[in-house]
Amino acid sequence: MAILFHSVRLDAEKCQGCTNCIKRCPTQAIRVRNKKAYIISDRCIDCGECIRVCPHHAKYAVSEPFNELLKYKYRIALPAPALYGQFNNLENVDYVLTGLKKMGFDDVTEVSKGAELISAATRVMMESGELQKPVISSACPAVLRLIRTRFPNLIKNLLPMCAPVDLAAKIARKKAAETTGYKEDEIGVFFITPCPAKRTAIRNPLCHESDGISGAIAIKDIYPVLVQTMDRLTSEEIEPINDSGIIGVGWASSGGEAAGLLKERYLAADGIENVINVLEELEDEKLNDLDFIELNCCTGGCVGGVLTVENPYVAKARLQRLRKFMPVSCNNLEDDFNWDEIGWTKELTPSPAMKLADNVIKAMRLMTQLREIEASLPGLDCGICGAPSCRALAEDIVRGYAEETDCVLHNIQVGGNGKGEDWLPAPFRVKVLNEDANEGGANES
């Protein structure tokens, strides 16, 4: 089996086995066993939701340390537009971009430049009538992985284009190759990332070959040094680097990508639960009158990534203010635009993580068993067994990873565990008593 790369990790020492994370995981990728959480690798989409909800800080995201830059002779920063929302009273993004150069980068290419080109290319593609509508944005890598894991029927609706950071990296490398004498492996290209899913997508791209990004540095790691560097800058030192406008920077917040398409029939949803609701409605063919659907797993869009420092709503408000000082767009498709640079080069295939078996007959047999076991469980989805729901426990049982005795309530129902029910929380006792009463035909005490 291929070893899967993930940027979200567990610190087992810190984990208290409290089960807070298991229900929030959108792909049911977490189990608690022996008072410790485990992540099922092929289900995890690196959304970072478990990092948000863990009260013991046992889940964390890995990104490249700043000294990774030292491996390269020429270093390029690719700042996500969400970075601009981290600074109060920012009126000129050149302060941020010049600050990055003062910190040790030799050049900077804005991801928002790539975003404006992707917006322009998407507009052309939408007009062509070649795309399956409603078209779903493929920019959020956690959404991309969520769709291939839980909603594979919707893969056909995904926009088959690379993310803005991939295009920005290609532009940056091309410029460096033309203006410096450095060889490719002497040039380091680093994404300044708001979330772990983007780092995973860089290290393990699903829809294209590697795009030459050397690593991803978390916004929260670079922020303290960058803000100090910016504070020391004089206005004479500011370099005119900025090469993007409202359309590109707008991608940092939910709705920004869709607004850049200049279409009316679009929907933008953010936050993992809202995203799942929209995908379920889409699967039920309730949203077929839309042209475009923008989905971001993080609340507020990329500004809500777990590797940012600022509250997403504050960051969004700052970006709104910054718009006053920006042109609408600085980038459009030239006649010689290379479409091959942005298209997917690999087919996105459904993830096998949710399949019970490769063999259809075996899968059907296991599904029948799963349903029988699920029907025998209490249906409370309490999580005490360490699985997020009774159905998930039933699935673990048919896969051979758990046993029916892992359900404490099931033990009582089939004959008691010798302790009676008094040790259970009240709601569970009531449920068990009611079921007993119904089965016995008596409902009076």
Which residues would be at the binding site for ligand SF4 (CB under 6 A)?
8, 15-21, 25-27, 29-30, 32, 37, 39, 44-50, 54, 56, 58-59
| Cα–Cα distance, 306 to 303 (Å, whole number) | 9
Residue closer to ligand SF4 (CB basis): 31 or 431: 31
> How near is the Cβ of 26 to ligand SF4 at its closest, in Å?
6
Q: Is there a cis peptide before residue 352, judged by omega within 30 degrees of 0?
A: no
Could you tell me the smallest distance in angstroms from the CB atom of residue 107 to ligand SF4? 32
Contact 143, 297 (CB under 8 A): yes
Nearer to ligand SF4, 44 or 100 (CB): 44
CA-CA-CA-CA torsion for 47, 44, 49, 347, nearest 10 degrees? 20
Nearer to ligand SF4, 21 or 217 (CB): 21
Please, what is the minimum distance in Å from the beta carbon of residue 7 to ligand SF4?
9
Angle, CA 420 vertex, CA 415 and CA 425 arms, to 5°: 115
Please say which residue, 142 or 165, places its beta carbon nearer to ligand SF4. Answer: 142
17 vs 350, beta carbon nearer ligand SF4: 17
Minimum Å gap between C-beta 183 and ligand SF4 is 36
Token look-up 């979330």 returns 195
Q: Of the two residues 110 and 395, which places its CB atom closer to ligand SF4 in the complex?
A: 395
CB of 191 to ligand SF4, least distance (A): 19
One-letter amino acid at 390 equals: C
Helix, strand or coil, per DSSP, at residue 221: helix
Residues 188 and 93: their CA atoms lie apart, in Å, by 23
Shorter beta-carbon distance to ligand SF4: residue 15 or 189: 15
Say how far apart CA 346 and CA 5 lie, in whole Å. 18
Q: Where are the beta strands (DSSP E) in 96-158?
A: 107-108, 135-136
CB 113 within 8 A of CB 331: yes
CB of 220 to ligand SF4, least distance (A): 17
Alpha-carbon distance of 318 to 339, in angstroms, equals 34
Q: How far is the CB of 144 from ligand SF4 (least distance, A)?
A: 13
Q: How far is the CB of 272 from ligand SF4 (least distance, A)?
A: 8
Dist. CA 392–CA 389, nearest whole Å: 5
**Could you tell me the smallest distance in angstroms from the CB atom of residue 56 to ligand SF4?**
4
b/e for 254-291, b at 16 or more Cβ within 10 A?
A: bbbbbbbbeeeebbbbbbbebbbebbeebeeeebeebb
**Among candidate residues 185, 37, 128, 198, the one with its CA nearest the CA of residue 339:** 128
256 within 8 A of 265, measured Cβ to Cβ: no
Nearer to ligand SF4, 62 or 330 (CB): 62
For ligand SF4, the closer of residues 51 and 268 by Cβ is 51
